[in-house]
Amino acid sequence: MVEPVKAATEQRYFHCESCGSNLLYSPGTTVLKCQHCGHENIIAPSQGTIKEYSFSQALRLLEQSELKALDNTEVIKCPNCAATFELKNQHAGDCPFCGTPVVTSTAQVRLFQPKSLLPFVITEKQAKASFDSWISRLWFAPSALNNKARRDEKLLGIYVPYWTYDSYTDSDYIGQRGTVYYEREYVTVMVNGQPRQEIRNVPKIRWQPVSGHVRLFFDDVLVGATQTLPRAVLDQIEPWDLDNLVSYQEAYLSGFSSELYQIDVDEGFDEAKQIMNQRIEAAIRRDIGGDQQMIQQVQTQYSQTTFKHLLLPVWSAAFRYNEKVYRFVINGRNGKTKGERPYSKIKIALAILAGFMALGAIIYYLEASGALNHMMEYGAPSGTYYYYR
């Protein structure tokens, strides 16, 4: 594979027109704000529309292209202090020497460029408050986690790459429809502690072979394109307000990190299919009808498939507890927080002990009142049935 030419990487640096300091995007606004003098530059609204792109054409481009979603490191020269540093799998970040926010082009290391994004709404202060609230609500969490001074987390605002897919699906299926019917049978029931034979209606299932066709349309099936953050955690901070996507502008990235996609568009569609299959199965079961359904074979064709490459805002960090690192993420639009967490063995043990003590107290009360002896002597109350096949 031909290596991308590093020297020609385009770089953007947003400086204050008033004092020359760094301009950073201010979450929840449409302005870049100077952290030194407070001067603001308005981000001009984009006139472009959010477009869908042909997936079949993307596959052809992938076959012809030498740019793959592999591990890439960009060598950057800071436009402010002239220091040289690296951005690993990122195209936006801060200079480690002077803190200058730099945004680079992705055209030379990735075939597909982000065309839209959701800007940050939640500030770092609000994100910290969301995290503290999440920690305080965790069951059986170590009490030390509520001590902010002992935690060492540092929040990082990052735009995470995603794919969305639209597609029509046509699914032919073969299965069976189950219809419940009843047969009268003798069953044994317990009445006042004594067995008795009674006739009951016993449910049975009659199966009938069926086949059919289901057509669905999927809109904006969302698939994460990162391998840096834990995907199982990222998926838990959905949903995203994709109706509010704006056209990609580098100004929204100033002061934040931004990842390059590490899962290519074709790999993302394989994951999208798994998400679609869940809804396809539900639609097939509705189409089969009856009381129960058995799906034996499904063949699905995908057509008119389109995709978008976009960036979504996430506050990410990790904290260390007992020499182990736990990751967590915060939705940069609504503050929803999810993550890995430790458990307090002491709290769990105390909860189990409290449960046994409560059970012992109930048994003691029943013995003291004579109710336990009555139940053992006369059995369950009348009207309670136990069925035996």
Decide if 225 contacts 162 (C-beta within 8 A).
yes
Peptide bond into 239 cis (omega under 30): yes
For residue 338 the two structure tokens come to: 């999810």
Question: d(Cα 220, Cα 166) in Å, to the nearest integer?
Answer: 5
The answer to whether 30 and 120 have CB atoms below 8 angstroms apart is no
Between CA 112 and CA 243 the distance in angstroms is 21
Q: Find where tokens 């609504």 sit.
A: 334
Q: How far is CA 103 from the centre of its chain?
A: 26
- Residue 242 carries which DSSP code? G
- The CA-based diameter of the chain, rounded to the nearest angstrom, is 94
For residue 222, the one-letter residue type is L
Q: Where are the alpha helices (DSSP H) in the chain?
A: 55-64, 124-137, 231-234, 265-288, 345-369, 371-378
pLDDT of res. 5: 32
Q: Digits of tens for pLDDT over the chain (389 positions)?
A: 223 333 334 566 677 877 777 888 999 999 988 878 888 888 888 777 899 999 999 999 888 876 554 445 555 555 554 544 445 556 666 654 345 666 666 655 678 889 999 999 999 999 988 887 877 766 545 555 555 434 456 788 999 999 999 999 999 999 999 999 999 888 888 888 888 888 888 899 999 999 999 999 999 999 999 888 878 888 899 999 999 999 999 899 888 888 888 899 999 999 999 999 999 999 999 999 999 999 999 999 999 999 999 999 999 887 666 667 778 889 999 999 887 655 555 556 656 766 677 776 777 666 676 655 555 555 544 444 444 33
The pair of structure tokens assigned to 251 is 């100004």
By DSSP bridging, strand 257-259 and strand 156-191 are: parallel
Sign of the CA dihedral 5, 81, 101, 320?
positive
Single-letter code of the amino acid located at 294: M
- Indicate the angle between helix axes 55-64 and 265-288, nearest 10 degrees: 150
- What tokens appear for 204 in the block? 């049975």
